[in-house]
Structure 1
Amino acid sequence: MVGQQLVTGLLEQKPYTEVVILVRESLEFTHPKLKQVVVNWDELEKYESAFHQADDLFCCLGTTIKKAGSQAAFRKVDLEYPVTAAKIAERHGIKQFIGISSMGADAKSRVFYSRTKGQFEEEIKKTGIPSVHFVRPSLLIGDRKEHRTGEKMGEILLGLLDPLLKLGKGQNYRAIPGSLVATAMIRIALQEQKGIHIYSNQKIREIAEAEPLSQK
C-alpha cells in the first residue's frame, strides 16, 4: 500500500532520474523513469545488478503472520529480505536507507512482531550505510490489494477514538494513511541527513503535512 504511493511520488521528483523497483511479478504500470526488476526474493543475490549506481534504498516490505503462514515465513519478509537488500546496496555504495518499521519496535520485546521489527532495525544499523532512517507508523490505513480483517477492525476502532487521540501522547497511536507515510519517506530522503534517525508516528505525520510535497 505504501510502496505504490511511494513509487508514484518518487517518479514526480526531479532529483530521481530513475526509479528501480524489485517486484515478484510485473506491474501493469509504466513510466519513462520506472524500471521494474522481477526477482525471486529467496535468491536476491542473483539480481545484484539492480542495485548498481543506486543512491537511496526504500524498503516497504511487510506482511502479516496470517498471510505468511508462519513466524519463520514472516521473518523472511520483514527481516531477512530487507537486510539482504541493504547489504547488497551497501556493497554498491548506497547513500541512504529509508525503511518502514513499526511503532514499538524493540529487538528485546517479548512480542514476536515488535521483536522482529526491532531486529530488522538493529541489523540495518550494522550495515554501515551512511544515512539510515526508520519510520515507525501506527496502524496503516488506505486501500490494500488484500483484505486484512484484524487491521480493518483496528482501523474502525482507532477511527472512533481519533478525536481523543489527537490530544497529548495519544497522537502517537492515531491510525495513519499510507499516503502520509510515503510522503514523509520521500521528504526525509530529500533532506539527505547522515546518521541513524527514527521517526515516531506523530513525527511522520508532521513531516508529511508540513507543506505540499513539491515536484522539484
Structure 2
Amino acid sequence: MNKEKTAIILGATGLTGNILLNQLLNDSRYATIKLFSRNSVNIQHPKLEEHLIDLFELESYQKDFFADEVFCCIGTTKAKTPNQNTYKAIDYGIPVTASRLSKVNGIDTFVVISALGANPNSNIFYNKIKGKMEADVLKTGIPNTYILQPSLIGGNRKEKRAGEQFFKIIMKALNYIMVGPLKKYQSVDPEKIATTMVYLANTNFSSGRIKNNDIIDLAEKNDRN
C-alpha cells in the first residue's frame, strides 16, 4: 500500500493554485497539504496546514519546507506589478528559492507554472524572466522537475481585468481552429493545468518542459481514465 503523501503549494490563493488545492484536498493519495502564502485561503480542512509568511523570505522557513512534492503556482502580471524589480522577485525569485529549498530538503518532485514563450534571451521582459526562472530551476537538479508552459490561462479571476477577459473570450472562440501545430497557442483552462500538475507528480513522465498542447492532452487523457 502506498503511503499518503504531503504536498506543498505556493500560490494557493491564485486562480490555478486554488483549483489545485481543491483537487489535492479531494485526492486520497495526499494526507497533508501545506500552504505557504501571504494570505489565508479561508478553508477549514483536516488535511490543510497553512503557513502565512512573507514569500520574499521563504528561505527563512526551511525547517517547515518538507514534503513529497512542491507545486509552485506563483505569478503576477505587468498590470498588477508594474515595478520590474518586484516583478522579478515574484516570478523569478520565489520559484527559484522554492526549488533550492526543495533540493536541500530532499524533495524529489517540483512542479512549476511558467509560460508559453519563456526564453532567457528574449527581448520581452516577461518572457525573459520566465526563461531565466526555468533555467535556474532546472539547474537545481531535482530529479522530477516539471515546468508547465501554458498559453493564455482562461477562467474568472477575483480581480477584474476587463481587457484580459475580452481577450480570453476571443481566444476561446479561436481554439476551435487552432489545431495541429497551432494547438500550442490555444487558451487553456486552469482546471486542465491543475489536473496536469497532479498527473505529472504521480506518474513516471519524463522531466522537463511541458508545452501548452501537452498540458491540454495530458489533462484530457487523465479525465478519460
Per the normalisation by structure 1, the TM-score is: 0.92
Give yes or no for the alignment of 1:185 onto 2:197: yes
Say what the alpha-carbon RMSD is for the aligned residues: 1.6
Give yes or no for the alignment of 1:74 onto 2:95: no
Structure 1 residues 205 and 32: alpha-carbon distance in aligned structure 2, compared to 1, 3 A threshold: same
Measure, in 2, the Cα distance between the counterparts of 1:213 and 1:183. Answer: 12
What are the Cα deviations for residues 146-205 of structure 1, in whole angstroms up to 9, with x where unaligned?
Answer: 12234223212212322211x221211111110110001000100144x63211111101
What are the Cα deviations for residues 94-144 of structure 1, in whole angstroms up to 9, with x where unaligned?
Answer: 111101011111111111111111101001011121111011111001121
Give yes or no for the alignment of 1:29 onto 2:43: yes
SS of corresponding position for 1:2: helix
* Post-superposition offset of 1:11: 1.6
Equivalence for 1:121: 134
Correspondence 1:87-126 to 2 at 5 A: 87-126=100-139
8 Å CA contact retained: 1:41, 1:81:
yes
Correspondence 1:198-213 to 2 at 5 A: 198-212=209-223
Look up the equivalent residue of 1:154 and give its one-letter code.
Answer: F
* % identity of equivalent residues: 34
Which of these residues, 20, 23, 28, is aligned with residue 34 of structure 2? 20
Measure, in 1, the Cα distance between the counterparts of 2:224 and 2:74. Answer: 23
SS of corresponding position for 1:35: strand
Give yes or no for the alignment of 1:57 onto 2:70: yes
Segments of 5+ residues of structure 1 without an aligned counterpart are: none
* Post-superposition offset of 1:17: 1.5
Equivalence for 2:6: none
Measure, in 1, the Cα distance between the counterparts of 2:88 and 2:23. Answer: 28
Name segments (4+ residues, structure 1) moved above 4 Å: none
Name the structure with the higher helix share. 1
Which of these residues, 159, 162, 170, is aligned with residue 175 of structure 2? 162
